Chains A and B, each alone.
Chain A
Amino acid sequence: MEAGALTLPHGGGHDEHHGPPPANRSSRVDAPTLGMLLFIISEIMVFGAFFTAYFFIRVVQGAEWPAEGTHLPQAIAGVNTAILLSSSLTMHWTVMAAKADNRAGMRAGIFTTALLGFTFLFIQINEYVHIGFSPSDSAQGSIFYGLTGLHGAHVFIGLMLLCFVAIRVFRGHFSSAHHRGLEIPGIYWHFVDIMWVVVFTTVYIL
């Protein structure tokens, strides 16, 4: 019965084997999931502050968008959006596979998800290299790099989590009985994807 303890990534302090009395569970939501949801609220607010900056620059100041003489590659970003959104699907599929004790499915799922994530990040960095303006050129450039960079940093954190989880997937730590350690990074990954849709819409489309 060793694997049981292994699959709890966030040692909640009350998954103990001796020591304090077990805490009463006063909610149906388990602690790590709730913690992740609250963390995501904080993350949304960080993005909210960056969107405030975007609002002040583009709407209040009425700056031309994008800045004069620059061009935003909507088509490439659109393809990238599709890539990131499909990674959300594969993430969901991975969790479903875990719930069905489908080991091969889990492995394929987490591998595809991470691969799509890395592809997204690679295309994003490639876009920076070829886009032809820098954050110091204009306020529009600053907020473009600010929003997409903030999001890129979140993709990076999400990918780190996926890699940690992938190790355990390939070691067979997750099953229909124990998949919380897979589910919670999954929630974060879905958040990163949904956030991208908002960033993409406001920065590239509108």
Chain B
Amino acid sequence: MSLRAPGFPRAGLGILLAVALAYGLVIGVRALYGWDPVLDGDAVLQVALIAAPFGFFIGFGLFDYWFRWASGAPTVPEEHSSHGARSWKDYFRVNTDHKVIGIQYVVTSFFFLLVGGMFAMLVRAELAQPGMQFVNPNAYNGLFSVHASILIFLFIIPVFAGFANYVLPLMIGAPDMAFPRLNALSYWMLPVAGIMMLASFLAPGGSFSTGWTAYAPLSTEAPIGQVFFTIGVQFAGASSIATALNFLVTIITMRAPGMSFFRMPLLVWANFSTSLLVVIATPFIAASQFFVLLERALGFNFFEVTRGGDVLMYQHVFWFYSHPAVYIMMLPGFGIISEILAVKSRKPIFGYRMMAFSLLAIVVLGFTVWAHHMFVSGMQEWIRVPMMITTAVIAVPTGIKIFSWLATLWKGVLHLDTPMLFALGFVTMFTLGGISGVMLAMIPFTIHVSDTYFIVAHIHYVLFGGSLFTIFAGAYYWFPKMTGRMYDERLGKLHFWTTFVGFNLTFAPMHLIGIEGMPRRVADYAQEFAGWNLFISIASFVVGLSTLVFVYNMVVSWRAGIRAPANPWKALTLEWQVSSPPPIFNFDTIPTVVGGPYEYGVPGAVHGVFKGAEVKTTATPAGAAPVGD
């Protein structure tokens, strides 16, 4: 319990000081301007929500190195004592090892999956019957808002960053990420953002209840719980940008010899594309929330029409991020699926280059379609048709990927184990979600189903049948590498089938009741929808239970599963060429890449080789004494 050394006690002190600072600042400024009363609770809360995370980061030790640099003092050269994890406690410290950070990311994100899933269960419990059962309408709005925000910003986006953090440096033959300290900071911003969003339930007036979209002026006039979203998203977004920057620099500057861009595994390509999207698009959601915050806290008038503001501007700025964000939540999954389908069907990826180029095409086209979310918003009519066309066009690169996957499977020797089942489940479900997406691109159809359950069905086919299936596939696929243990195959298959069936029974009927006109985001509904809703609620509880099978399998297998060999899937990519889990510094010597990553079924094909002896003469081996310094 030292308040001087970095750690939780000092972080607690940091938070206390930050809250004290918030009080001081608010009282000071208000006294200076002569405002009455001098103490304004809402103002203190807003300042504290910004300051307290920094108090935590500083106290926790994330800034120690940079403070030393800023003061002009000698910076301690990296001494690697913060690499690797010897006990579970090491996951609760600042750690700069990409493998530790990867596991921190993945476990934290899955925790938020369970939390967000719980909210979904509460929503479905309320919707099981017409009328009000468990919660009041405001609390219901809060439930689905926090459900969406948590699962988007604290689960799907970061869990992909977690997987990539773990396997991407290994895949390209790098000893770590380019900026390990920034990497640690990126991770620790996540729990802060998540706790902030959940803490909004404690706010007077209830949690934020404006959906994950937080449209102005709804959000600028909502009770104070709204700012927990406004500010929480800033931390999640900053984390996302910092990680993306880190991935890009790592991929560009730290590839192993011979690892040209067109020898990179598609997971690396996918994260490269995603990171480009994040670096370019995420600042827009940050700005949209700055606008809301400025409007709420300082009386700005960005959206106040009577004073010359433009209320639709929020939606334009928001969707300029949030449409690309659906690709941020999808492209890394494409990468995971490409890895698994090639390995599990023992065939090279069909059209590898087209797969890479279609990712880049999605990155570019993703910025040209945002207003398809605004067809009924009352924006200028001439924007509609161009956006309809670009939205239909963006289905082309996605279609290329789906046909490439099918061609990869064609005449392959399919190994139908759990990762493969989830991958195949993804290909089918995501295709359905994509088709309803093209339907929604058509303006007359969209006008008919806007704000109905058809939208809910579409988004869940894309983000659950799409993203979540790829995440489960990836979790099973890399589980042996990350934990050094094998998962239970029978429980894995049980998990897949219950999820797959439960998912379809839950979301497929929503298309129907949506077309019939059941509105989304309302706690009550007309009697005619009662039958389907009860059915959907029961099916959704099956999905909820199936998740418990997954959690049980992961926890028990991690503790007591059989030891995993280095390469249980006989994969060629580099992360499988080292032990499970990998050595503390990944490689003794950096491998040399001599061929493509997916040459399955090609006799004698090699992706990377370790030229141990001759390279050691030029490179410093692990643990060697510093030379000449």
Q: Which residues of A contact B (CB under 8 A)?
A: 1-2, 4-6, 8-27, 29-31, 34-35, 38-39, 41-43, 45-46, 48-50, 52-53, 56-57, 60-61, 63-64, 67, 135-143, 145-146, 160, 164, 167-168, 171, 173
Contacts and interface: CB of A to CB of B under 8 A. Distances in A.
Nearest to B295: A142
A31 B298 CA distance: 39
A145 B298 CA distance: 11
A17 B629 contact: yes
A21 B178 contact: no
B444 interface: no
- Shortest 10 CB-CB contacts between residues of A and residues of B: A49-B287, A167-B72, A20-B175, A17-B626, A136-B299, A20-B585, A139-B308, A45-B283, A26-B255, A139-B309
Nearest to B83: A19
Given A23-B174, A38-B248, A61 B308 contact: yes
B313 to A, nearest CB: 4
B585 to A, nearest CB: 4
Interface in B298-355: 298-302, 304, 307-310, 312-313, 316-317, 320
Given A139-B301, A139-B310, A31 B71 contact: no
B279 A24 contact: no
Nearest to B629: A1
Contact of B179 (A10, A16, A50, A140): A10
Contacts of A30: 253
Nearest to B593: A24
Contacts of A38: 245, 248-249, 279
Residue of A21, A56, A143 contacting most chain B CB atoms (<10 Å): A21
Given A15-B77, A21-B587, A145 B310 contact: no
B557 interface: no
B65 A11 contact: yes
Contacts of A4: 629
Interface residues of B, number: 77
Contacts of B624: 18
A24 B257 contact: yes
Interface stretch (B120-128, B131-139, B528-536, B615-623): B615-623
A14 B175 contact: yes
Interface string B239-280: 001000110110011111101000000000000000000011
A154 B358 CA distance: 36
A57 B309 contact: yes
A42 B585 contact: no
B257 A31 contact: no
20 contacts: A5-B77, A10-B179, A13-B176, A13-B178, A14-B176, A14-B254, A16-B78, A17-B77, A21-B621, A25-B253, A31-B254, A38-B245, A38-B279, A42-B283, A43-B283, A49-B288, A50-B287, A57-B302, A60-B310, A139-B308
Contacts of A27: 252-253
B78 A13 contact: yes
Nearest to A150: B290
B187 interface: no
Given A5-B74, A13-B176, A39-B245, A53 B291 contact: yes
B35 to A, nearest CB: 13
A195 B69 CA distance: 27
Nearest to A136: B299
Interface string B573-604: 00000000000011111100000000000000
Given A29-B253, A135-B299, A42 B279 contact: yes
B256 A24 contact: yes
Nearest to B316: A52
Contacts of B80: 16, 18-20
A135 B298 CA distance: 8
A164 B72 contact: yes
Contacts of A2: 74
Contacts of B312: 56
Contacts of B304: 139
Contacts of B320: 49, 52
Residue of B300, B304, B308 contacting most chain A CB atoms (<10 Å): B308
A12 to B, nearest CB: 6
B202 interface: no
A18 B255 contact: no
Contacts of A6: 74-75
Given A20-B176, A135-B299, A139-B309, 5 more contacts: A16-B77, A38-B245, A38-B248, A42-B245, A139-B302
